[in-house]
Amino acid sequence: MANVRHGTVKEPFIHITKNAAMPFWKGLLIRASAVIAAFILCSLLAYFLIGANPGEFLKTFFEGNFGSNAASAKLRIWKLAKDTAILLCIALAITPAFRMRFWNIGAEGQVLISALASVAVVYYNAGRLEDGPLLVLMFIASIAAGMIWAVIPAIFKALWNANETLFTLMMNYVATFFVAYCLVKWTPNGSSVLGELKTGHLPSFGHDYLVLILVVLVTTAFMFVYLYYSKHGYEISVVGESQRTACYIGINVKKVIIRTMALSGALCGLTGFLLVAALDHSVTTTSVGGRGFTAIIVSWLAKFNPLIMIGTALLLVFLNHGAGQLATVFRVSFAFPDVVTGIVIFFVIGCEFFIRYKVHFRRKTRTAQVADNGSGGGGGALDSPGDNEKPDIVPDKGGKLK
């Protein structure tokens, strides 16, 4: 009614409707142009803030990821693959929960606490066990720790509908300070610097990072099959779409929530185990370093599809390494990569709108308006200007009723 004044019809300037399925290539094109637009903005920022011209910007960005000569190239590319693998692994872990619309933003804490569990096994073992059984114990401890950290919020969500976003967020900090507590306990002078553990290293072949990367690839394939081709995966999708539908077709929603979060936590546990056994051989309060949050963006950008996640994880690590190199070369703050990553994410988040919705601007001619309303769907009843007499009557009626 607000649109109708003095007998003339005022169409809203912008009218938004939902888009039907968009061809895959078109969606990809929109996303790619968003990334390119973000890059242009970042290079402009780099030009004005740190004085790097666009050529240097791109060159430094690529050198940060792929090195400037053969020797550094090998090193950098392995590092790129390693960081992508870890980020991907965390993203895989939170994906089943996210597909269920369970907003688990506690991956940070779940990974950290499982890394701590692995370190605890090594610490209390004190060199008694061989590496073989020790690794098995570490693995079990990590998985268990991750599961416990994830299942606690899940139980309260399933039974009493406690807000999972806030619950898992709080669990992150409990984990962080618990790690701080253990580190002070375990270091003789209370220095909190544990140093590299001597035992409990995963055997490596080919390259130090190869085992890690292979494990993550296998996990990716497993998660893809689990989510898209298994009964569990189907149940997760149904619960995510509509809990009522899930109830109606006989899915035990509570069970699915707890089971899925247990899986989510177990995968976080796997990441924590890999961090300790394959990479860091130690733990600090910043071992995960915000990757638990970045992984959420990785997973969401990939529309919760494990295979696409390889690409999105790579994109974010690529940004981080490139901007990191830029910060090193041009001697600016170490925080520069976060700014660049943030800008690119904003663009990619924003562009999703143009994939999901269609924007109609106000047409000039009267006939076009009518035609638009017919085809636009949705808002027909509310601002239907098709009938000339109706709008004239409606405001009067409203006026009298008041």
Q: Which residues of 154-183 are buried (b: 16+ CB within 10 A; e: fewer)?
A: beebbeeeeebeebbbebbeebbeebeebb
Q: Which is nearer to other proteins, 56 or 338 (CB)?
A: 338
In one-letter notation, the amino acid at residue 276 is V
Residue 167: both structure tokens together: 């619950």
User: Minimal distance in Å, beta carbon 292 to other proteins?
Assistant: 10
User: Minimal distance in Å, beta carbon 339 to other proteins?
Assistant: 4
> Comparing C-alpha atoms, which of 164, 145, 144 is closest to residue 154?
164
Residue 142: both structure tokens together: 């990590």
Q: Which is nearer to other proteins, 66 or 156 (CB)?
A: 156
How far is it, in rounded angstroms, from Cα 48 to Cα 330? Answer: 13
Residue 9: both structure tokens together: 């019809």
User: Minimal distance in Å, beta carbon 70 to other proteins?
Assistant: 32
Q: Which residues pair with 15 in a beta bridge?
A: 360
Report residue 369 CA to chain centroid gap.
41
Q: Which is nearer to other proteins, 280 or 352 (CB)?
A: 352
User: Minimal distance in Å, beta carbon 269 to other proteins?
Assistant: 21
How far is it, in rounded angstroms, from Cα 296 to Cα 262? Answer: 17
> Comparing C-alpha atoms, which of 118, 79, 57, 2 is closest to residue 330?
57
Q: Which is nearer to other proteins, 226 or 318 (CB)?
A: 318
Which residues bind to other proteins, rule: CB under 8 A? 1-2, 16-18, 103, 105, 156, 160-163, 165-167, 169-171, 173-174, 177-178, 180-182, 184-185, 190, 290, 293-294, 296-297, 300, 332-339, 341-343, 345-346, 349-350, 352-353, 356-357, 377-379
User: Minimal distance in Å, beta carbon 250 to other proteins?
Assistant: 25
Q: Which is nearer to other proteins, 126 or 335 (CB)?
A: 335
Q: Which is nearer to other proteins, 104 or 142 (CB)?
A: 104
User: Minimal distance in Å, beta carbon 166 to other proteins?
Assistant: 5
Report residue 214 CA to chain centroid gap.
21
